[in-house]
């Protein structure tokens, strides 16, 4: 059946309406990622830290080392925080637990919100 000009024009408002409802997944994803990177921060003994895999791995390794060589300084240590200040960590175990819990909570939240975003390509 030949294409009708009238039919073509009648589709335009519908296409425009669909475009208005479409959302840019890449922009949305980037904004969510930035929020999560901020949310990963937590405070400990007056210092501000970001719960990263590197921080968690380091504290875990430090604790393991400490069990083998206890003269390292017991359960206390010093850590450089986000702003470059040395912060005393009284209990390495407590700090490790706080960092792991915070990391897990925020990453769960990220995963959940990211899944929601993927569904919301059209609103």
Partner 1 sequence: MQNSANSAKSRGIIAFAYNTDTTDYVSIAERTLKLASKTLGLPYTLITNSAQDYDNQRYDTDIGKFVQWRNAGRYQAYELSPYDETLVIDADFLIFNQTFAQVFEYQHWDWQVMRDATGLTQKYPVAMGPNSLPYVWATAFVFRKTPAAKSYFDLIRRIQENYGYYRALYNIEQRNFRNDHAFAIADMALSGYTKTSQNSLLGPMLHIDNAVTSITAQGNNFIVRDPDRAYVVPRTNMHVMSKSYLQSEQFREFIDSESA
Where does this chain bind partner 1 (CB under 8 A)? 19-24, 27-28, 30-32, 34-35, 38-39, 41-43, 46-48, 81, 83-85, 109, 112-113, 116-117, 120, 123
Task: Tell which residue, 25, 35, 27, has the closest CA to residue 119.
Answer: 25
Give the nearer residue to partner 1 in terms of CB position, either 21 or 65: 21
Q: Token pair for residue 65?
A: 């080392």
Pairing, β 41-44 against β 86-89: unpaired
Distance CA 61, CA 8 (A): 66
Q: How far is the CB of 7 from partner 1 (least distance, A)?
A: 25
Give the nearer residue to partner 1 in terms of CB position, either 16 or 61: 16
Give the nearer residue to partner 1 in terms of CB position, either 72 or 113: 113
């Amino acid at each position: 059946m030949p294409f009708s000009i009238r039919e073509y024009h009648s589709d335009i408002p519908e296409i425009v309406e669909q475009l208005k409802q479409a959302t840019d997944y890449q922009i949305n994803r980037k904004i969510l990622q930035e929020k999560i990177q901020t949310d990963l921060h937590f405070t400990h003994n007056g210092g501000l830290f970001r719960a990263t895999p590197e921080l968690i791995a380091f504290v875990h390794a430090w604790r393991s080392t400490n069990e083998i060589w206890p003269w390292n300084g017991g359960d206390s240590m010093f850590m450089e925080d986000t702003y470059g200040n040395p912060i005393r960590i009284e209990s390495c175990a407590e700090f490790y637990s706080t960092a792991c819990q915070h990391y897990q909570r925020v990453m769960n939240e990220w995963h959940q919100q990211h899944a929601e975003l993927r569904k919301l390509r059209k609103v």
